[in-house]
Amino acid sequence: KPQLVASNDRFCRFLEEYCPVVTETYYPTIWCWEGRVQTLLRPFITSRPQVQYRNELIKTADGGQISLDWFDNNDSLYYPDASTRPTVLLLPGLTGTSKESYILHMIHQSETLGYRCVVFNNRGIAGEDLLTPRTYCAANTEDLEAVIHHVHSLHPSAPFMAAGVSMGGMLLLNYLGKTGRDTPLMAAAIFSAGWNVFESVESLEKPLNWLLFNYYLTTCLQSSISRHRQMLEKLFDMDLVMKARTVREFDKQFTSVMFGYRTIDDYYEDASPCRKLKSVGIPVLCLNSVDDVFSPGHAIPVETAKQNANVALVLTSCGGHIGFLEGIWPRKCTYMDRVFKQFVQAMFEHGNKIFSM
């Protein structure tokens, strides 16, 4: 059974009644139970539901642009009125976009419930041009704030939630820690967030983890900016950035410099959501596996979470990073998908009961 960490008895009872998956035994796929195997295989094993998006480019205050992919769900039987149709904002991982299988599955789950989804693609990675020499990072929430304000202004009467995966979850937590209760979001779901960036990069620099994940992730980061080399060369020594062999080296030469941090340690401290968890002001459910090499179990802020009545952690012993595969042949629904579906439905349809239970 997963460990449910929550200091608020009412939040606990609410989850047990309306999101019972968090109290059920999670049985990982028996032939790939180890965390690294789950992490590596999930993108290849899980299906990719067909989703038709409507793309929207919005301008930012600094002259840049952000690509949003909308799934309007205009055929929704439960919520035919678009003005009040519940909306879920989805934030993919570090180099992820609206095409990631885990995002497509979240949209598929939302479609069956009648909800609308919008995917926030970080600057420059979804095919759109960079109009300014700026990309994104886990600590800077300006673009997310602009997107949340934009989506809310389009549908001010619609219940509004967000779900973030991996770095998307870190960004969302950092935003919630900054805004407290001053947000149009009614709740949030976080999956496989890296809680302490220092611990995450140290784990990823262990020899086997570097070989399996770190080097590949670094090349993904480099390829995501190489298309914009002409724009970025105005500010960066791109030859040096392209020589990075670890995420830490990339962040030292590129990310921390772009966002004006004096040192990489200053950036990593600001990017670590564990430092802002006390300030979260809306109900948040966070799912992590303790065998996730991207977010080691010992770095999950269990004691801090117990100090905030708005926070619930669900910790599984297996599942890896965005893995959570279950069943003999885990093509379709993962444990993470089921947590997502039950929690968003619980909040949209019964959220007002948290405070009365």
d(CA 310, CA 305): 9
Contacts of 83 (CB under 8 A, 6+ apart): 155, 157, 158
Residue ranges in 155-195 assigned as alpha helix (H): 167-179
From 69, 291, 292, 337, active-site residue: 292
Name the helix (H) or strand (E) containing 75. none
Residue 322 zone, left/alpha/beta (φ > 0; ψ -120 to 50; rest): left
* Residue 248: half-sphere exposure toward Cβ, Cα within 13 Å: 14
350 assigned to active site: no
153 assigned to active site: no
d(CA 10, CA 142): 33
From 166, 256, 289, 295, active-site residue: 166
d(CA 158, CA 156): 6
* 8 A C-beta contact, residue 222 and residue 229: no
d(CA 282, CA 75): 30
Name the helix (H) or strand (E) containing 14. helix 9-18
Rg over alpha carbons for the chain, rounded to the nearest Å, is 19
Helix, strand, coil percentages (3-state) for the chain, rounded to 5, are 45, 15, 40
237 assigned to active site: no
From 251, 295, 321, 337, active-site residue: 321
Residue 99's CB: how many other CB atoms inside 10 A? 15
d(CA 55, CA 70): 6
Q: Which residues are catalytic?
A: 166, 292, 321
